[in-house]
A and B are shown apart, each in its own frame.
Chain A
Amino acid sequence: MIVVGLGHEFRHDDAAGLVAARRLRERGVAALEHEGDLATLMDQWKGADGVVLVDAVWSGAAPGTVHRLDAGASPLPRELFKSSTHALGLADAVELSRALGTLPARVLVFGIEGRDFTAGVGLSAEVEGALSSLVEEVASCMKSR
């Protein structure tokens, strides 16, 4: 089972997944950070029996809301993970991997609703607030498996 935090460092709340991965590492959980081309994301879970993915989302829910999705069981809603038109989005990467038969059996996706995706660094108070309990939840999820 591996953990991958996704996001963009310089788009405020879009960095939520990356920050989550860093805080998980501080707690001794091996967590990877992934930026950029999601085609290479599929390589990260190659051969793993399970993967936990943490990413920022923008669905219109209240900022700081944590969406929990079991992508091992059903397809990810593409509209939740605003995919780039330039590269594969998270939902595309998961579904492409499923089609290719390389998706681990367990895929848990935590989506943190962001408020600010403009250029710049630093998380919004809402995302920062949600992050500590999310990190706790992922860490205990990793320990209990």
Chain B
Amino acid sequence: MTNKTIKVDYLARVEGEGAMVVRIKNGRVADVKLKIFEPPRFFEAFLRGRSYMEAPDITARICGICPVAYQMSAVHAMEDALAVAIPRSIRELRRLIYCGEWIESHALHIFMLHAPDFLGYPDAIRMAKDHPKLVQQGLELKKLGNEIISLLAGRAIHPVNVRVGGFYRVPARQELAPLAERLKHGCDACRDDVRWTRTLPMREYSHDTEFVALRHPTEYPMNEGRLVSSRGLDIHAREYDAHFEEEHVAHSNALHSVIKGRGAYLTGPLARYNLNRDRLPASVQEVAREVGLAATCRNPFESIIVRALEMLYAFEEAIRVIAEYEPPEVPAVACEPRAATGTACTEAPRGSLYHRYTIDAKGIIQDAKIVPPTSQNQKAIEDDLRQYVAPRVDMPTDQLRAECEQAIRNYDPCISCATHFLKLEVEREP
């Protein structure tokens, strides 16, 4: 019977700080914990007493990788509270800025964080010596994503131009045109990158969990849609709290989110793709078919392919938005505060991001609730690790450790959002 202790003190190439413990006793997996020990960040508390107009800029500081997601969920939730309707051109610009974030976040993860796992390098710097073009490609694509965000929101990190009702300033058509040309080159390169992800050595593995994502009548989801799942959930964001709950667990400073009565679920690229493949444009579906991606993908290792596919979609969508763009008459719809509660879910690169705010008649935030994607995915990641390790308990320790790390990176967890380092311990107890 296998009783061993394996410890990895530092899991690199994830966003943030935390630890993973896998305990193996008598040849069986006794316990798996994703520990998040970064101190609580109290964002929900310090939103209280602030103006509803400040929510997008305050919550954007939660994450350096996905600030746009926080801004988008915040403005949609506030607009839900204020019953404000947004014209198509503003809605389109919001999709465009979200495309920028998907591109920069997915490019960073695919090329710099995840690819070294598949190609057998400890990090992107050492991978760059043998695969310079690959790394340069990743950096170029990431830069294009950053450019979209900078153009629409002043700067790529902690963008500032998004506001409840729209934007503080919207671009003229001619400002977007030069970017469109560069995006077309990026789009072509990205199509080849999806094909490249298919050539990576892939582990045969399947993890069955409940997939949860937004679903929109016509679009691949980013900002809008009903929250649906692979096991029949179909709700408006307003019903979120009736179906999902957060549990405090002793080993984590992030709350664990579960579906009431059912437990763990997964949001993010795999969930979005599995629930919305038919909403991808025919051109992107064609590439999915070409690379042999199943209609439902249950292999978390293949998330690198799905991320590349979503990046291709984001390029195509960004190019479409720019081609059809007509500036709105005013950059933002006027908003009048009123006492109300508003909710929204939008699709951050790594999964659904839920915001709920209660504001008073003057628009002062009385209560705020934010459920980031990594909180939602934490339990599913633990379940996946448990299932992955079970038939591999006798694997050499170094190999098992490396595979566990890769399995965690499949989810591109942003531990800073949920709260910072991922430390991996595999313990085999006597």
Contacts and interface: CB of A to CB of B under 8 A. Distances in A.
B17 A96 contact: no
A95 B16 CA distance: 22
B15 A96 contact: no
Contacts of A85: 14-17, 416, 420-421
B122 interface: no
Contacts of B146: 37, 40
A143 interface: no
Nearest to B14: A85
B132 A99 contact: yes
Contacts of A86: 15, 63-65, 416
A96 B17 CA distance: 23
A86 B146 CA distance: 14
Given A85-B17, A86-B416, A39 B142 contact: yes
B64 A96 contact: no
Interface stretch (B123-131, B184-192, B212-220): B123-131
Contacts of B143: 39-40, 43
Interface in A55-110: 84-87, 92, 95-96, 99-101
A92 B14 CA distance: 15
B54 to A, nearest CB: 17
A96 B156 contact: no
Given A36-B155, A36-B157, A85-B421, A96 B125 contact: yes
B335 to A, nearest CB: 29
Main secondary structure of the interface of A (DSSP, over half): loop
Interface in B102-140: 124-126, 128-129, 132, 135-136, 139
Contacts of B420: 85
Contacts of A37: 146, 156-157
Contacts of B65: 86
A99 B156 contact: no
Contact of B129 (A84, A87, A99): A99
Nearest to A87: B64
Contacts of B128: 96, 99-100
Contact of A96 (B16, B124, B142, B157): B124
B156 A92 contact: no
A95 B136 CA distance: 14
Contact of A100 (B16, B64, B136, B421): B136
Contacts, number: 45
Contacts of A30: none
B416 A42 contact: no
A43 B143 CA distance: 10
A100 B132 contact: yes
A86 B139 CA distance: 15
A99 B65 CA distance: 24
B416 A101 contact: no
Nearest to A91: B125
Nearest to B421: A85
Nearest to A35: B157
Interface string B61-77: 00111000000000000
A101 B132 contact: yes
Nearest to A94: B125
Contacts of B421: 85
Chain A CB count within 10 A is highest, among B17, B139, B142, for B139
Contacts of A84: 64
Interface string B7-35: 00000001111000000000000000000
B329 to A, nearest CB: 33
A39 B139 contact: yes
Nearest to A40: B143
B139 A95 contact: no
A100 B138 CA distance: 12
A96 B155 contact: no
Nearest to B16: A85
Contacts of B132: 99-101
Contacts of A87: 64, 157
Contacts of B156: 36-37
Interface in A8-47: 36-37, 39-40, 42-43
A95 B15 CA distance: 20
B182 to A, nearest CB: 14
Given A86-B65, A92-B125, A100 B17 contact: no
Contacts of A96: 124-125, 128, 135
A42 to B, nearest CB: 7
Contact of A99 (B15, B16, B126, B416): B126
A92 B139 CA distance: 13
Given A86-B416, A99-B135, 6 more contacts: A36-B156, A85-B17, A85-B420, A85-B421, A86-B63, A96-B124
7 smallest beta-carbon distances between A and B, as pairs: A99-B128, A86-B64, A36-B157, A99-B129, A95-B125, A100-B132, A96-B125
27 contacts: A36-B156, A37-B156, A37-B157, A39-B143, A42-B139, A43-B143, A84-B64, A85-B14, A85-B15, A85-B16, A85-B17, A85-B416, A85-B420, A86-B15, A86-B64, A86-B416, A87-B157, A95-B125, A96-B125, A96-B135, A99-B125, A99-B128, A99-B132, A99-B135, A100-B128, A100-B132, A100-B135
Interface of A: 36-37, 39-40, 42-43, 84-87, 92, 95-96, 99-101
